[in-house]
Structure 1
């Protein structure tokens, strides 16, 4: 995606790649060149091409692999191999070792010390300058030549005992700030200090997901913040703030204005989320201030002797970017609801760990399994990733048709010559097309088998208050679309005993119930829970998982004070996407829901976030409105004098012909903000950026804007990452969205299940996390109830045994027949 005013076309990924290849590994080549200049040699010496070994721990392995490939390491930085510090390694005393480890990884620190904890009585290192020792060595060699068997046998025994260093020298780089205690431990290993050539802090302890999203790889954050027990809050805050600060350093944003979502109180007077947003924000600001101080010291030293360079970001007197820290309580619907864009639905329904897709091909040797990495190196994936899945399937079909026509076309001699020259590119393009066609076919199979088209449309209706629990139960008790199609096509007229509830995986039914409970406050009690269990086949444990949404701030259980008015006022805000008139209505019915983060980023862009609900903890003054492209009255001014004013209702007026993006309307319940909500009631503006004209974009390019960075404690969804790309183009500035981990629905539900302290339906009150919770062993995240198959196993489902539904239960759901017909016909065409 071409986003104006981006510092780099590859965003965060390129920044991290430069940090690793240039700031860390590039220092060695610079050192060699300096030596050659001093020696007056015009050609590179043999030492400049010296191969080295890169040694990583489990933390830095993920950091490096997310941005750098092995080909880059070998070609640009002479890295011959990459090894794990926690595994046994063969000594390579002829090569230098580069250690890149996390200073908080105790196992890695211990392994580094063990590597160099050898005896210091090495004849090759000591006494070489002593003439007497040299004479003794020569004498021993003469004896060996005359065949002294006694000496040879003793020498072999001694050589076995004589320790050797694993590498010729060591370069140690830490991924985050290192404690003095750790350095003191390293200093006690004399052999390491003797061979240590480099010891630096690199400040790179995060992973990039793509050019505009990142993760700090802390999957246990949600239970730690919202559960009664789990990892200590201090451990979570320290890890997240440290890694977030290294990300800001890597992209050169030390002068960040750090803001956070103020914690809301629950009915028991406790802060939801344990006030972690503020804790992470203040700790991040403290770490950034330390980095700024170190940067200033390095610059002063450099001015003094000109020999010190720093890999930190720039320093100044004002903030250069906006950082907003949220927790998962700000939007607990986004991790549950189905997203229908290509990348999001792949990670929802298919098994693609670490974005690696496994597929099979037929060869002469038989069926072989292949893997494909779905990342930004795949141009076709980048083109399709944020498009609706229905459009993707149509585009892939059209691309395949064009390729087939090109094969059948009669070519002239000149055409054949061009085809031969372009053969490698053609084969690569067709290979990618084949991979994504296979993905689309698998997605289509899952969607049809589980009737997810009907489920997805029902989710959107439930989220916006257009469907009730009766509609959901009616849908679950209806026959699947395949049965209805067979009946309409002249099949058997016998009443079907198969219902959607029987065909649908338990995980999908649980998600549908969670969306209903989250958007219909105070509706669940014992009687209602029993009704859901009977209608959907869910278990009591599943109902407990739904109730645990209360620990994120949702109001799930019915209380004695529940009334229709309180239910209406406690409904959470849900933003709806307003499609352009030319948009496909079938796609729009699945794509109405907009993650809450989109509206928040727009308010952050417009300087309209409440300072009371989103306070700042930074000490640096922020940019003025003029520097952000706005006048004091809130109107945007371009260099050509065009003024665009954003009114109270979100509408725009200007003195020129400015074609604005189509604005979104609020959901039916968005007018009723939850009591005590930290999100103000302002209209959101969402849509596709296609309605911007080139002249409008050229005007906006003239204004340089600072970056907007959103960090979500508890994980960020693929839908929220997609909105970051759209907002970058719409707002004409870098918008980076990250979190403690990249969430999919399965992982989110697994985190909820792992939260300690079940909330019974009888008790309207709850006990939230204590300030100092006891430690628990690590929980396998993303593991659903044994009876609940994960989403990516849809294609292996079997029909469950169930009681035969009554004739009334087999009726079609009460939907608009015309809309339902359009929806089904649209999927059939795929």
Structure 2
């Protein structure tokens, strides 16, 4: 809204509320292509609320929606523009995006959701928004998904993958370019949150993760107070791409951040504005001039440093107050199987004896890590034991068993299972999850052993070793051999923010390049066959030039977002992660608690296009 207000717009209003007529101004509508939104536009035109109507849809508009506009003579006469923008997503940072479906976890995994109408509508919404990402990036994806095999019991990933494929195929068909699918330009892997249930609750010890986990920073805005001659003043700082210190430190371990900030503070204390030592004499006129010119920049840097020093101080205070370093150390041992329930109880008792009040959500997160990595540990007597030793309520402890809805075998054999008639039933296998351990850069830091599963999947997908049965391609049944992916010529790596709509829309019907994929044409027009080794080398080169996009249904974490940055450098190709939402541990626990209630179709999704018949 702030950006819109600064772009010569007189007023920004909500379509769903009553608005005063503005007959001397044009009305610009940025709306979803839904029947309800278009009905409001038609109503405005018939009332002549504005001088002209410029309609911009967030995604491809169904024929019924366009027909509703055509049917209104008043709307047709007032229409100045009618365009599809394909912008149903938010950029989180240059390597991450969200399609903003906050209730996706409940809509796809809640009790009774499997193969329900509510789940189908949710998958329609997710696929429709993900398609706008592909179009905006100028990509035609080769799609793979997490299959319903082994201990994976949900078909959500396949449902979204199939719908995305059908949606993009329909868009290409409308442009007469359906054959362009034979030359995909990027690799997309679609998974759901059940692929790694530890990542959303484990403590991540990087600066960005600590800030969003432990502090109140809504929408990346840090609020703080400073003392001036006028008294105490409230200030705000936006933690984003325009803050170079934030960009430099956000993925560093918190211990490293504290050291870097301390060193920078010493530097500012000892060095003057022009780069000379404070207190130095006999400055020349040129040096004085440089000092004056550098002063605004240095003052800005000092202000940024002051903000981050304040943030780091708050984080350190929270860590000390709740003894989170001790909690984190045990947490790492728990997820790697090096600690038992007795160790958890011992820690809780020790903290109580020292008067350390560990927040209930921290206790619950530690228990979630335990039951996620130690299958079949919960029954009614065990619930009572945890309530006695932690002070958690029955409602809190019941959140643990909601992991069953994500395919985690939490309950002991024979224990009462409220979800026995759900999509998993009693056949869910008791398999201890494979937990990846961080190696190489960063692994020397304490409390930094845990590596999100997403990093391993991306590495295997890049190397061509990702299991084709567990992660098949769209159109290939799980268990069938995957055909080698079709490669296209290298394309320039672009940020997720880059819009290349035209390149997507203008793929020819013969594919993005045309011609024989296994031959190269010389200047004279003669085809020359490549050898197998040349083909293999070329394929590897082409693969490294393609974006690799992982999409998580049910929410992604800051730790997973960090891995997209790390892997982009490590693999020498752009890795992007997207999701239905960006979660903090607290928000994930809250959504996990809501899975026990039956899913229903939210009213706001009621008129979303049904993609199952495309």
Shorter-chain TM-score tier = 0.7 to 0.9
Q: Is the 8 A contact 1:522 1:567 kept in 2?
A: no
Instruction: Output one character per residue of 1:186-242: Cα deviation in whole Å (capped at 9) or x when no partner.
Output: 233322211212112111111110111001111111111111157801221111000
Give the Å deviation of 1:553.
Answer: 1.1
Report matched runs for 1:136-151 at 5 Å. none
What is aligned with 1:114? 43
Instruction: Output one character per residue of 1:688-732: Cα deviation in whole Å (capped at 9) or x when no partner.
Output: xxxxxxxxxxxx8x9852111110000111100100110111111
Change (3 A) 1:348 1:626: same
Give the Å deviation of 1:315.
Answer: 4.3
Change (3 A) 1:82 1:315: farther
Instruction: Output one character per residue of 1:351-379: Cα deviation in whole Å (capped at 9) or x when no partner.
Output: 11111111112233322222222111111
Whole-Å Cα distance in 2 between the matches of residues 468 and 346 of structure 1? 29
Q: SS of the residue aligned with 1:296?
A: coil
Q: SS of the residue aligned with 1:186?
A: helix
Change (3 A) 1:600 1:105: farther
1:383 aligns with 2:248: yes
1:465 aligns with 2:319: no
Give the Å deviation of 1:95.
Answer: 3.3
1:474 aligns with 2:335: no
Report matched runs for 1:210-225 at 5 Å. 210-225=93-108
Give the Å deviation of 1:93.
Answer: 3.1
Q: Is the 8 A contact 2:146 2:471 kept in 1?
A: yes
What is aligned with 2:221? 356
What is aligned with 1:602? 459
Q: Is the 8 A contact 1:329 1:553 kept in 2?
A: yes
Report matched runs for 1:328-727 at 5 Å. 328-407=193-272, 408-410=278-280, 412=283, 413-479=285-351, 497-500=353-356, 503-559=357-413, 570-579=431-440, 585=444, 587=445, 589-617=446-474, 622-624=485-487, 637=537, 705-727=545-567
Change (3 A) 1:87 1:476: same
Q: SS of the residue aligned with 2:81?
A: strand
Pick aligned residue for 1:293 from 163, 168, 173: 173
TM-score calculated relative to the size of structure 2: 0.81
| Count, aligned residues | 538
Pick aligned residue for 2:120 from 226, 234, 238: 234
Instruction: Output one character per residue of 1:609-658: Cα deviation in whole Å (capped at 9) or x when no partner.
Output: 12221111169983359989xx979998599xxx9xxxxxxxxxxxxxxx
Instruction: Output one character per residue of 1:376-420: Cα deviation in whole Å (capped at 9) or x when no partner.
Output: 111110000000011111111111111121243436232221122
Change (3 A) 1:522 1:626: farther
Whole-Å Cα distance in 2 between the matches of residues 634 and 263 of structure 1? 37
What is aligned with 2:58? 175
Q: Is the 8 A contact 1:272 1:551 kept in 2?
A: no
Q: Is the 8 A contact 2:405 2:595 kept in 1?
A: no
Q: Is the 8 A contact 2:143 2:189 kept in 1?
A: yes
What is aligned with 2:498? none
Pick aligned residue for 1:97 from 20, 27, 52: 27
Pick aligned residue for 1:739 from 570, 579, 582: 579
Give the Å deviation of 1:525.
Answer: 2.1
Whole-Å Cα distance in 2 between the matches of residues 168 and 423 of structure 1? 50
Whole-Å Cα distance in 2 between the matches of residues 93 and 422 of structure 1? 50
Give the Å deviation of 1:528.
Answer: 2.3
Q: Is the 8 A contact 2:376 2:430 kept in 1?
A: no
1:84 aligns with 2:3: no
Q: Is the 8 A contact 1:521 1:567 kept in 2?
A: no
Whole-Å Cα distance in 2 between the matches of residues 734 and 117 of structure 1? 48
Whole-Å Cα distance in 1 between the matches of residues 58 and 30 of structure 2? 7
CA RMSD of aligned residues (A): 3.2
Whole-Å Cα distance in 2 between the matches of residues 621 and 471 of structure 1? 48
TM-score calculated relative to the size of structure 1: 0.61
Structure 1: gaps spanning 5 or more residues = 1-60, 119-164, 299-313, 481-496, 644-699, 758-768, 779-830
Whole-Å Cα distance in 1 between the matches of residues 472 and 443 of structure 2? 41
What is aligned with 1:798? none
What is aligned with 1:281? 161
Change (3 A) 1:225 1:704: closer
Give the Å deviation of 1:510.
Answer: 0.5
Q: Is the 8 A contact 1:476 1:499 kept in 2?
A: no
Q: SS of the residue aligned with 1:716?
A: coil
Report matched runs for 1:780-791 at 5 Å. none
Whole-Å Cα distance in 2 between the matches of residues 257 and 331 of structure 1? 23
What is aligned with 1:197? 80
Change (3 A) 1:521 1:112: same
Change (3 A) 1:498 1:114: same
Give the Å deviation of 1:536.
Answer: 1.2
Change (3 A) 1:410 1:296: farther
Q: Is the 8 A contact 1:625 1:632 kept in 2?
A: no
Whole-Å Cα distance in 2 between the matches of residues 550 and 297 of structure 1? 44
Q: Is the 8 A contact 2:149 2:470 kept in 1?
A: no
Whole-Å Cα distance in 2 between the matches of residues 279 and 409 of structure 1? 68
Change (3 A) 1:229 1:196: same
Greater radius of gyration (CA): 1
Whole-Å Cα distance in 2 between the matches of residues 229 and 368 of structure 1? 51
Whole-Å Cα distance in 2 between the matches of residues 720 and 439 of structure 1? 22
Between 1:89-98 and 1:598-607, the stretch displaced more is 89-98
Q: Is the 8 A contact 2:24 2:51 kept in 1?
A: yes
Q: Is the 8 A contact 1:241 1:281 kept in 2?
A: yes
